[in-house]
């Protein structure tokens, strides 16, 4: 059965699922293999639970005519998504970058939704499985698609672009994320810039930040739509940016007061405004959309617990995002500042140096109490009396002093695997 025939069967289905725990009625189940599982074994269960068809790549689990046997289920998922994207022919905006891509995706989506029927990547389903699932969630009613793309190795962004065939692209920034997989910071620039290569080769358009020298240098041969701070050459000229603690931007006669913390979010907001205006969304509609957005899922959330004000930014961390989060936090006026910082993952050989650099930077702010959690930070522990090192969260949890914190400004940040949102349970209720 070729991909066009499989697509015709897909069009009869209500959705796509790769998890029998989330089977929808009349869905298409695709049996993917993992390091510890083989979903082929669940094909019969998927059909029993309501799947209309099941795609498998192990003939031992063939059930009946509703079972579609292919050579490789993952490749079929990807080819089906690519075919479906071509079948629909709708405009697609692709987003990637080291930091801020999910927040930017959400902002772009809510801005464009003021005029278009949009669909965007759900959560962070942005890899070789998530992007195809996102594309297959688009249908004939979708007028604009927003696809987030993540990567931790070379050639991944190029591959995801070959599936999504984006008409527009935006790279939020180039930071020290996934250094191990990319092979250092220069590898990050090369890997993320694969999106620019795709846009250039296919005569598509890139949205760029004129205040980012790397973006400017990498897009000289591409159609661009730009934004910049105090830059009259930009499509969108931002005149003012402030954060106290929430970000406000001003352009022309429009002021947008967001619920996003930290100056580093100003470029995310500016990108969303730029894209919205490019697609003829009015300033008032863009303002209403962005001002109505409240972050969640541990991304720069402002939480009050007892007498403490907490910035919970525990979704992820790398040296670049850690640096700007700390810089923003240090600008807060509350003199009683407390930092909880967890290990940064996937840094490879540069990990000891990057963790040591964070500690060294904070040594210049002796008034801030710092709690470092994880083996990588612990390996770089110092004798600074304001610095407290814990090899694991469990060791931190036994530190009873936390339950006495009062009237503090607190930043919690670490890689997702550290799950530092658990610190909230250690802080006093009143």
Q: Is 282 part of a structural domain of the chain? A: yes
pLDDT at residue 35 greater than cutoff 80: no
Token output for 325 = 């989060």
Q: Is 93 helix (H, G, I), strand (E, B) or coil?
A: strand
Q: Is 80 part of a structural domain of the chain? A: no
pLDDT at residue 359 greater than cutoff 80: yes
Are residue 283 and residue 305 in the same domain, yes or no? no
Q: Is 270 part of a structural domain of the chain? A: yes
Are residue 130 and residue 31 in the same domain, yes or no? no
Q: Is 260 part of a structural domain of the chain? A: yes
Are residue 280 and residue 363 in the same domain, yes or no? no
Q: Which domain holds residue 40?
A: 3-70
Q: Is 82 part of a structural domain of the chain? A: no
CA distance 133 to 144: 16
Average pLDDT over residues 49-54: 96
Q: For the chain, how many structural domains are there in total?
A: 3
Are residue 200 and residue 243 in the same domain, yes or no? yes
Are residue 212 and residue 311 in the same domain, yes or no? no
Are residue 131 and residue 51 in the same domain, yes or no? no
Average pLDDT over residues 152-158: 92
Across 48-201, where does the E strand assignment appear? 53-56, 67-69, 92-96, 118-120, 144-148, 168-171
Are residue 129 and residue 96 in the same domain, yes or no? yes
pLDDT in tens, 93-128: 999 998 899 999 999 999 999 999 999 999 878 999
pLDDT in tens, 224-267: 999 999 999 999 999 999 988 899 999 999 999 999 998 889 99
pLDDT at residue 131 greater than cutoff 80: yes
Average pLDDT over residues 341-357: 94
DSSP state, residue 279: T
pLDDT at residue 332 greater than cutoff 90: no
CA distance 412 to 323: 13
Among the three residues 236, 262, 291, which one is the final residue of a domain in this structure? 291
Q: Where does the pLDDT of residue 404 fall: very low under 50, low under 70, confident under 90, or very high at 90 and above?
A: confident
Is the distance from CB of 4 to CB of 83 less than 8 angstroms? yes
The sign of the CA dihedral 164, 320, 353, 402 is negative
Among the three residues 39, 70, 101, which one is the final residue of a domain in this structure? 70
Average pLDDT over residues 367-391: 92
pLDDT at 276: 98
Average pLDDT over residues 385-402: 90
Q: Is 143 part of a structural domain of the chain? A: yes
Are residue 256 and residue 379 in the same domain, yes or no? no
Tell how far CA 307 is from the center of its chain: 31
pLDDT at residue 71 greater than cutoff 90: yes
* Residue corresponding to tokens 């041969």: 221
Average pLDDT over residues 318-330: 90
Q: Where does the pLDDT of residue 204 fall: very low under 50, low under 70, confident under 90, or very high at 90 and above?
A: very high
pLDDT at 275: 98
Average pLDDT, the chain: 93
pLDDT at 69: 97
Among the three residues 229, 260, 291, which one is the final residue of a domain in this structure? 291
DSSP state, residue 200: H
**What's the CATH code of the domain at 22?**
3.40.1390.10
pLDDT at residue 384 greater than cutoff 90: no
pLDDT at residue 298 greater than cutoff 80: no
pLDDT at residue 392 greater than cutoff 90: yes
- Bond from prior residue into 352 cis (ω within 30 degrees of 0): no
Are residue 331 and residue 386 in the same domain, yes or no? yes
pLDDT at 39: 92
CA distance 110 to 99: 19
Are residue 250 and residue 337 in the same domain, yes or no? no
pLDDT in tens, 307-319: 999 999 998 899 9
Beta bridge partners of 145: 92, 119
Token output for 102 = 């999910």
Are residue 343 and residue 406 in the same domain, yes or no? yes
Q: 77 or 152: whose pLDDT is higher?
A: 77
Q: Is 405 part of a structural domain of the chain? A: yes
pLDDT at 206: 98
Number of Cβ within 10 Å of residue 203's Cβ equals 9
**What's the CATH code of the domain at 222?**
3.40.1190.10
Q: 286 or 400: whose pLDDT is higher?
A: 286
Q: Where does the pLDDT of residue 296 fall: very low under 50, low under 70, confident under 90, or very high at 90 and above?
A: confident
CA distances from 62 to 43, 57, 261, 379 (A): 8, 9, 52, 52
Are residue 277 and residue 368 in the same domain, yes or no? no
pLDDT at residue 300 greater than cutoff 90: no
Average pLDDT over residues 14-36: 91
pLDDT at 60: 94
pLDDT at residue 390 greater than cutoff 90: yes
Q: Is 355 part of a structural domain of the chain? A: yes
Q: Where does the pLDDT of residue 34 fall: very low under 50, low under 70, confident under 90, or very high at 90 and above?
A: confident
Average pLDDT over residues 174-195: 88
pLDDT at 115: 98
pLDDT > 70 in the chain, percent:
100
Q: Which residue pairs, CB below 8 angstroms and at least 24 apart, start in 400-403? A: 402/426, 402/427, 403/427, 403/428
pLDDT at 124: 78
Beta bridge partners of 303: 310
């Amino acid at each position: 059965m070729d991909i066009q025939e499989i697509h015709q069967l897909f069009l009869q289905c209500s959705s796509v699922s790769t998890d029998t725990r989330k089977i929808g009625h009349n869905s298409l189940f695709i049996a993917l293999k993992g390091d510890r599982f083989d979903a082929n074994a669940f094909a019969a269960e998927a059909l029993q639970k309501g799947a209309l068809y099941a795609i498998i790549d192990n003939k031992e689990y063939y059930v009946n005519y509703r079972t579609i046997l292919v050579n490789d289920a993952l490749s079929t998922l990807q080819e089906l998504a690519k075919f479906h994207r071509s079948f629909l022919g709708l405009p697609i905006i692709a987003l990637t970058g080291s930091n801020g891509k999910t927040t930017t995706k959400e902002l772009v989506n809510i801005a464009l939704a003021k005029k278009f029927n949009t669909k965007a990547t759900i959560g962070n389903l942005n890899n070789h499985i998530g992007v195809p699932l996102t594309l297959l969630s688009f249908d004939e009613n979708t007028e604009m698609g927003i696809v987030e793309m993540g990567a931790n190795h070379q050639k991944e962004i190029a591959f995801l672009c070959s599936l999504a065939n984006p008409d527009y692209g935006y790279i939020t920034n180039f930071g020290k994320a996934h250094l191990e997989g990319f092979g250092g910071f220069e590898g990050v620039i090369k890997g993320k810039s694969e999106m620019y290569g795709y846009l250039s080769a296919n005569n598509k358009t890139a949205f760029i930040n004129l205040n980012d020298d790397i973006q400017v240098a990498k897009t000289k041969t591409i159609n661009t739509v730009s934004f910049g701070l105090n830059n009259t050459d930009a499509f969108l000229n931002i005149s003012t940016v402030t954060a106290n603690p929430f970000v406000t931007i001003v352009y022309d006669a429009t002021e947008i007061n967001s619920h996003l913390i930290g100056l580093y979010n100003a470029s995310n907001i500016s990108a969303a405004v730029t894209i919205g205006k490019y697609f003829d969304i009015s300033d008032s509609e863009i303002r209403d959309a962005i001002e109505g957005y409240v972050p969640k899922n541990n991304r720069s959330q402002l939480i009050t617990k007892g007498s403490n004000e907490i910035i919970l930014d525990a979704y992820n961390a790398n040296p670049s995002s850690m640096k700007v989060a700390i810089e923003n936090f240090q600008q807060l006026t509350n003199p009683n500042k407390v930092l909880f910082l967890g290990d940064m993952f996937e840094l490879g050989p540069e990990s000891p140096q990057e963790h040591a650099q964070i500690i060294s930077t904070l040594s210049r702010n002796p008034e801030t109490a710092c709690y470092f959690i994880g083996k990588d930070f612990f390996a770089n522990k110092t004798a600074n009396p304001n610095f407290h090192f814990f090899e694991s969260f469990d060791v931190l949890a036994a530190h009873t002093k936390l339950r006495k914190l009062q009237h503090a400004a607190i930043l919690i940040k670490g890689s997702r695997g550290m799950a530092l949102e658990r610190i909230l349970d250690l802080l006093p209720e009143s």
